[in-house]
Amino acid sequence: MLEIKVPYLLCLGNTTEFIFTKTAKGILDWRAEKCTGQISLQGCTIDLGLPELSITQAAQLGIKTLVLGVAPPGGRIPESWYEMLFFALENGMDIASGLHDKLSEVPGLVHQAKEEGCQLFDVRHSSEDFNVATGIKRQGKRLLAVGTDCAVGEMYTALAIEKSMLKRNKDVDFRATGQTGIFICGTGVSIDAVVSDFVSGAAEAISPNNKPKHWDIIEGQGSLYHPSYAAVTLGLVHGSQPDALVLCHDVSRTHIIGVEGYAVPDLAECMQTYISAAQLTSPNAHFVGLCFNTSSLSEQQAHNYLEKTEKQFNLPCTDPYRFGVEALVDKICEID
């Protein structure tokens, strides 16, 4: 699997809207120690609070990788960025991108990278060759964050769990399955870019055989209830062989995002569907908790909602951003 060198220079491009910087912000939030500076191009009005560096200054500071940390409309790499890309290579820096446009398709960039001995990482477009899944039980323990819908906090939940377990001196790794997660931990696979026959094999590859008490905390993608992305989710569930599952849900979400006519599933029904799928390759798979995005609720409303849901399922329920994941991690550690 790809491994992106650190430290990073985060490119903010020409963006004027904070929402388009979610990749750069996610990296900074979870791996600030990897981020030495930011570079803004003409017209950019966003500031993440990092030192503003030129390519030359970044190279002098030993920065290894220029990360395109923003998503311009359409996921395109603007031609106005080309000069920066070539200059980064000339200064010995690798370049990593999660955009739809490929770095490898920028005219002359692949040749320049070879000349300079640098690498180009198109993390949204997997170039790895994966085997078909075997279904053979692997040593070690695995937790998979899954969702009632897409974009309901699976990555944040997985990272919060990893962080808490590291504080407890547990042997644990976050396993990235999407481009932002890959930038955060420096390795992984964009699972939705893998040919369908090999999705489960890719999931096996990123959470391999390990020490008996080692935990892989695997970032979920899509949802079994999303008609567009359920196939990716199912392959990830089977290949991950999760010992533990955490269900993620946005309490304000009533309908599946991006499609018409599909309601968000009932939590109990959703959990049973995930258990039925997971137990094909992990017969003892079970839920250890639920994580919610309660940003649409007041703090008191959020506490009331979580208390009610805990009583319903007799499992830890939390909003990882507001209230942390300690009770959930207590439950995970019981599996040891």
pLDDT for 187-206, tens place per residue?
999 998 899 999 999 999 99
Ordered DSSP codes for 86-107 = HHHHHTT-EEEE-SSS-GGGST
If you count DSSP H runs as helices and E runs as strands, how many of each does the chain have, helices first?
Answer: 12, 11
Closest by CA to 165, choosing from 246, 87, 70, is 246
Helix (H) or strand (E) holding 35: strand 35-40
Q: How high is the mean pLDDT of the chain?
A: 95
Average confidence (pLDDT) over 7-33: 93
pLDDT of residue 22: 86
Q: What residue type is assigned to position 323 of the chain?
A: F
Map out the domains of the chain with their CATH numbers.
Answer: 8-122 (3.40.50.720), 141-333 (3.40.50.300)
| pLDDT value at 277 more than 80 | yes
CA-closest candidate to residue 188, choices 163, 209, 207, 211? 207
d(CA 174, CA 188): 9
Please, are residues 94 and 85 in contact by the beta-carbon 8 Å criterion? Answer: no
Place of tokens 């959470």: 207
* Eight-class DSSP state of 265: P
State the Rg of the chain over Cα.
20
pTM as predicted: 0.91
Distance separating alpha carbons of residues 211 and 111, to the nearest angstrom: 42
Q: Residue for token digits 């999931």?
A: 203
